[in-house]
C-alpha cells in the first residue's frame, strides 16, 4: 500500500533529523552525557505541554510503559555498541535490521499484510542499509561485541516500532501518546547517568549543553512526526513507515562524508541505491 505523499515527506524529514542528532552523539566527547541531555531536552519540552494534552486512553497505557522500557534498553545497547565499534559500523546495523523485524512481525501481531513487492522492498532496504555497515575498525575485521550490541539495538527498534504503532491506535490520539512517551522516557536514563557520571554533568552542560539540547529538539520533533504518521489509519501501515524512516542511515552517511570527511565510496553509493529501490517498492512505485 502506497503512503500518502505528505506522510512520505514528513517521515523523510524525521529521518534526516534523526541522523543529525545521532551525528551529535558521534562527535561528542561523552556519548552518555550527550545522549542523556538530548533525551532530557525532549522530555522537558513534552512536560511543558503535557498538562494541556489529554492523557492517552487507558487501553494504551501498557504499550506506553512498555515503550518507555524498550526505548531505554535501546539507549543502553546503543551506547555499548558505540563503545566497541565505529559509528559507520554500528548505526547501519542497528537501524537496518529493524525494518525486516517489523515487516515480519507486523502481520501476525497487527494483521498488516504486505504484498510480494513490498516484502521484496523490505529485504532490499534491510540489505542495503546493513551493507553500509562494512567491517570493523582498521584491522578489517568485524567487531563482534559491536555487531551484537547493534543487532540488539535493531531488535529494540523493531520492538518499540510495533509497540508504538499499536499503542497510538489505542490511545485515542497519537499526539498525546507521543507527548506522554517523550515526557516519561528520560527517567531511567537520567537515573543511570546520575550514578555513572554525577561529577561530570555540570562541566559537560557548560561546554556542550546547548548543542546537545538542540539535538534534543530535533529528536523530539523527529519522533513526534513518526508517531503522527502511525495514526493516519490505513494509509499509513506500520512496516513501510518503519522502513522508510531507516533511510536516515543514508542521510547519516552523507553527513559523515560532508561534515566529518568520512568516505562515501562506490560500495556506499551502491548500498544507497539499493535502499532507494527498496523504499520505492515499499511505497508502490511498481
pLDDT at 119: 82
Of 146, 28, 17, the C-alpha closest to 94 is 146
For 268, the grid coordinates are 556506499
For 113, the grid coordinates are 499484510
pLDDT at 236: 53
Structural domain contains residue 145: yes
Structural domain contains residue 10: no
pLDDT at 62: 95
Cα–Cα dist 229/221, whole Å: 12
For 4, the grid coordinates are 500518502
For 66, the grid coordinates are 512498555
* Domain that includes residue 207, residue range: 19-114+133-242
End-to-end, the C-alpha distance of the chain in Å comes to 11
Please report, in tens digits, the pLDDT of each residue of the chain (286 residues total): 556 778 888 888 998 898 888 778 767 778 899 999 999 999 999 999 999 888 899 999 999 999 999 999 999 998 888 788 777 677 777 877 777 777 777 677 666 677 788 788 888 888 877 776 654 444 444 467 888 898 899 889 888 888 888 898 888 877 788 889 989 999 999 999 999 888 889 999 998 888 899 989 988 888 778 877 877 765 556 667 767 777 787 787 777 777 766 666 677 777 777 877 877 776 664 5
Cα–Cα dist 229/225, whole Å: 6
Structural domain contains residue 276: no
Cα–Cα dist 248/22, whole Å: 10
Q: What are the Cα distances from residue 284, in Å, to 5, 77, 114, 236?
A: 12, 34, 11, 13
φ/ψ bin of 131: left (φ > 0), alpha (ψ from -120 to 50), beta (otherwise) = alpha
Q: Dihedral angle at the C-alpha atoms of 88, 91, 92, 96, nearest 10 degrees?
A: 180
Read off the pTM: 0.78
Q: What are the Cα distances from residue 122, in Å, to 41, 42, 98, 129, 231?
A: 33, 30, 10, 11, 21
pLDDT at 193: 94
For 98, the grid coordinates are 529493524
Q: pLDDT averaged over the chain?
A: 80
CA 138 vs. chain centroid, Å, equals 27
Backbone angles phi, psi at 232, to 5 degrees: -85, 30
Structural domain contains residue 24: yes
Structural domain contains residue 120: no
Number of domains in the chain: 1
Structural domain contains residue 286: no
184-203 confidence digits (pLDDT tens) = 999 999 999 999 888 889 99
Contact 124, 274 (CB under 8 A): yes
φ/ψ bin of 266: left (φ > 0), alpha (ψ from -120 to 50), beta (otherwise) = alpha
HSE-up (13 A, CA, CB side) for residue 238? 29
Cα–Cα dist 204/192, whole Å: 16
Contact 239, 101 (CB under 8 A): no
Structural domain contains residue 269: no
DSSP 8-state class, residue 264: -
pLDDT at 74: 93
Residue 193: is it exposed, middle or buried by C-beta count within 10 angstroms (0-12/13-18/19+)? buried
pLDDT at 139: 45
Structural domain contains residue 183: yes
For 50, the grid coordinates are 503535557
pLDDT at 237: 65
Amino acid at each position: 500500500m502506497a503512503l500518502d505523499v505528505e506522510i512520505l515527506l514528513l517521515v523523510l524529514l524525521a529521518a534526516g533529523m534523526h541522523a543529525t542528532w545521532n551525528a551529535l552523539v558521534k562527535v561528542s566527547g561523552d556519548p552518555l552525557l550527550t545522549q542523556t541531555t538530548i533525551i532530557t531536552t525532549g522530555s522537558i519540552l513534552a512536560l511543558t505541554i503535557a498538562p494541556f494534552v489529554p492523557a492517552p486512553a487507558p487501553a494504551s497505557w501498557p504499550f506506553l510503559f512498555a515503550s518507555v522500557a524498550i526505548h531505554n534498553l535501546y539507549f543502553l545497547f546503543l551506547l555499548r555498541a558505540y563503545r566497541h565499534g565505529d559509528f559507520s559500523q554500528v548505526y547501519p546495523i542497528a537501524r537496518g535490521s529493524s525494518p525486516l523485524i517489523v515487516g515480519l512481525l507486523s502481520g501476525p501481531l497487527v494483521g498488516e499484510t504486505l504484498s510480494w513487492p513490498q516484502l521484496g522492498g523490505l529485504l532490499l532496504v534491510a540489505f542495503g542499509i546493513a551493507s553500509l555497515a562494512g567491517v570493523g575498525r582498521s584491522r578489517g575485521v568485524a567487531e563482534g561485541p559491536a555487531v551484537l550490541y547493534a543487532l540488539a539495538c535493531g531488535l529494540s527498534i523493531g520492538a518499540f516500532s510495533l509497540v508504538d504503532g499499536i499503542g497510538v491506535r489505542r490511545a485515542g490520539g497519537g499526539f498525546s501518546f507521543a507527548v506522554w512517551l517523550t515526557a516519561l522516557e528520560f527517567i531511567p536514563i537520567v537515573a543511570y547517568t546520575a550514578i555513572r557520571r554525577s561529577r561530570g554533568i555540570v562541566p559537560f552542560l557548560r561546554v556542550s549543553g546547548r548543542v546537545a539540547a538542540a539535538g534534543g529538539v530535533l529528536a523530539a520533533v523527529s519522533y513526534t512526526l513518526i508517531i503522527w504518521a502511525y495514526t493516519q489509519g490505513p494509509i499509513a501501515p506500520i512496516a513501510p513507515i518503519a522502513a522508510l524512516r531507516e533511510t536516515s542511515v543514508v542521510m547519516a552517511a552523507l553527513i559523515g562524508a560532508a561534515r566529518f570527511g568520512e568516505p562515501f565510496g562506490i560500495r556506499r553509493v551502491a548500498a544507497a541505491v539499493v535502499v532507494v529501490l527498496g523504499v520505492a517498492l515499499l511505497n508502490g512505485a511498481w
